[in-house]
Every structure is written in C-alpha cells, then in structure tokens.
Amino acid sequence: MKKKIWPIVVMAVFVIIAGFLFRYRNAVVAVWNNLTAYKLQMDETDEWAGGRSFTKVAYATDSESQYLDLYIPNTALNEEKPQLFVLVHGGGFIYNDSQSRQAQLMYRYFRDQGYACATVNYRLAQEEPFPGALCDVKAAIRFLKAHAEEYGYSAEKVAIWGESAGGYLAVAATVTNDDEFGDVTYIGQKEIEDRLGYKVSAKVDVCVDYYGAVELSKKTSDWNKLGYPLFIIDIANSWLHTDIIKGYSDVESYWFRKETEGMTAEEAAYYDIYNYLNENAADLKNTKFWISHGDSDITVPILQSQRLYDTISTFVGNDNGVFKVVPKSGHAGDIMYTDEELSFVKAYLDNNL
C-alpha cells in the first residue's frame, strides 16, 4: 500500500511546483536573467591618457562628502569645448560613492567620446536625511557651471545621468526649479555671483534616467501586476535591509526619517517627482528625458519608468522623452553599460546638447 502512495505524493509535489512556476513564470524568467547576466570586464587601473583628471574636487563645505571627480578630454584648439555630463551614482541612498562601478562605466565611455564627465559624491542618508543629497547634486551642478571656463568645458547646456537612487536625484534635480532645494551653497558662490551679476542656475537640459527609483513608496502593487512574488523581491533586495536603516521598514523611510506609509499628503508631496513635474511643466518644455530600464529588474519595478515616461509625455510633451526597455537586464545590469547600449544614449545627447 505504501508503495502505491509514493507515486501520488511525487506527482502532487510535481504539480504544485509546476503550478508555482507557471503562475510566477515572469519572475522565474527575471531571476534566471539575473543569475545568468552578462558581465563586463573593467580595467581596475583606469590609466587614462585622453585628457585631464581632477579627483575629489570640493564643491561645498558642509561635509567632506561634498566633492566630485572631473574628467576633461583633450580637444584641439580649433575644436569646440567638450559638453558637460553630470553623473549621479546610485546605491539606495545608503551605499556607494562617485567611483561606483556604474559611474565608472559611464564616465569611462563618455569621456572617450568627447564629453566632460563630472561624477558627483553626495551625503548619504546616514549622514544627512532628505533633501540633503538632492541639495548636494544641485549645488554641484551650479559649481560646475560657475567653473566651466576655468576647467575648459561648455556648460551652456548640461546633461545629467543617474541610476537607481541616483536616478531619483537626477530626475528631481531636472524637474525642480532654482527656488527649490537650493539650500547648499557651492564654494565661491557669493564672489562668483557678485562678479557675474546673477545667480548661477542648476537648470538641466537633458536628463538620462537609468532604472530610477523615482517613486519613493511601497512597490507591492507593481510587483503584483508584474507577477513577482514578494518573497523573491525580499531575497533579491536583502542588501537594502541592513542595520544602517535603524529599524525603518525601507531605505526611503530611513532617508526621510519617517515611514512613507504614515506620511500626510503634504509631506509626501515634498518628495514626489510628479508634484514637481506638474508644477514646473511650463519651464520644462525644452527639457529632454531619456529613460532606460531592464525588463528583468527585481529591485525597481519597470512600471515606475513607464509611468514617468507617460507623465513626461503628458505634462512636458510627446517629443520630450524616450523610453528604452533593455531585454534580459536586471537592476544595474552590465548589459546596460555596453558600448552598444551607451551609443544610443550618446546619440541622444549629441542631438540635444
């Protein structure tokens, strides 16, 4: 009798597993794509003979974290000055710096393509809560514009790139105006602006958002729509659930020092990208947005980027945004930093700067 039961038990287990795999087939594919992801080989020495490098250039004095690294490619005397491309690293607002792997992949490619690249370090959440990092990024942009002549690049138009948490900062810096989040004074600001006779603007002309965490709230409904079970999401993002966040439910709540779920509508509007997009839409009519997101991202739902693109199309203009889905790429996937993928971004910058 027992021998007859075992085949039934095995069949039942098989049916349960098969049913689970079918129900969550999108998640299974995404996990597989992440496990088998393409990896770029990156030279650790980074010996660059194509121009001048300036490391840990302080742009403000509130913290030792407020610095940037600047790479200026060589140009012939009869050539135009290189265009400025500002880079903002990710890391969940609690990790990484100006030399993160993704920032390096960006500036190594774009400096070789003739762009002046500034990779910005900012105060992480454990040092300064919201909006410290955003104020830092906007101060860095103003500093870079004010010192364009000194370093030898063009800042008449400025492009910014950010990935993940840096995507939020890049987009926020783009859609907010000069009266918003300008609390950090850049080095030499008073003297420079007294001499110029006007306030240096943090205006951005082209924003490149790589899988940006632009909605700083719970993502459960998005994961459900995508067919991703939450336990897989929790496992994949265990790196964000550390003692650093000091008992808060997520890094966003830690950054705000208040649970996002318990915020009033007014408090939530203070950090809401869409609030500023709507408010400043008239000033963004000539601003361009490039959005890239991997279709196997299990950290930031791709639906966030889709909604951002749809909102830009609605409030700013149908011709102001591009949304590119990168097949088989997970969050911060190296495939998004291949020469092929970055060449699309370069073409977009070339056409809009």
Using CA atoms, how far apart are residues 39 and 48, in angstroms rounded to an integer?
22
Residue 102, SS3?
A: helix
> In this structure, are residues 98 and 65 in contact, taking their beta carbons and an 8 Å threshold?
no
Tell me how far CA of residue 230 lies from CA of 21, 27, 129, 218, in angstroms: 15, 10, 27, 12
Report the relative pairing of strands 206-210 and 67-73 from DSSP bridges. Answer: unpaired
Q: Name the pTM for this structure.
A: 0.93
Domain-by-domain residue ranges, the chain?
2-35, 51-352
pLDDT means over runs of 10, the chain (353 residues): 60 52 68 88 86 97 98 79 97 97 98 97 98 98 97 96 98 97 97 94 98 94 93 90 90 96 94 96 96 97 98 92 97 97 98 96
Locus of tokens 């945004």 = 321
Sheet holding 288-294, edge to edge: 51-58, 67-73, 116-120, 83-88, 154-163, 206-210, 288-294, 321-326
Q: How many CB atoms lie within 10 A of CB 338?
A: 16
pLDDT at site 318: 85
Using CA atoms, how far apart are residues 70 and 116, in angstroms rounded to an integer?
7
Residue 159, SS3?
A: strand
Strand partners, 117: 71, 85
> In this structure, are residues 138 and 202 in contact, taking their beta carbons and an 8 Å threshold?
yes
| Residue length of the chain | 353
Q: State both tokens at 341.
A: 């993928």
> In this structure, are residues 326 and 335 in contact, taking their beta carbons and an 8 Å threshold?
yes
Q: What is the CATH number of domain 51-352?
A: 3.40.50.1820
Residue type, 31: V
> In this structure, are residues 153 and 54 in contact, taking their beta carbons and an 8 Å threshold?
no
Which residues 6+ apart lie within 8 Å of 337 measured at CB?
40, 102, 105, 106, 109
Exposure string of 265-290, with b = 16+ CB inside 10 Å and e = fewer, is eeeeeebbbeebbebbbeebeebbbb
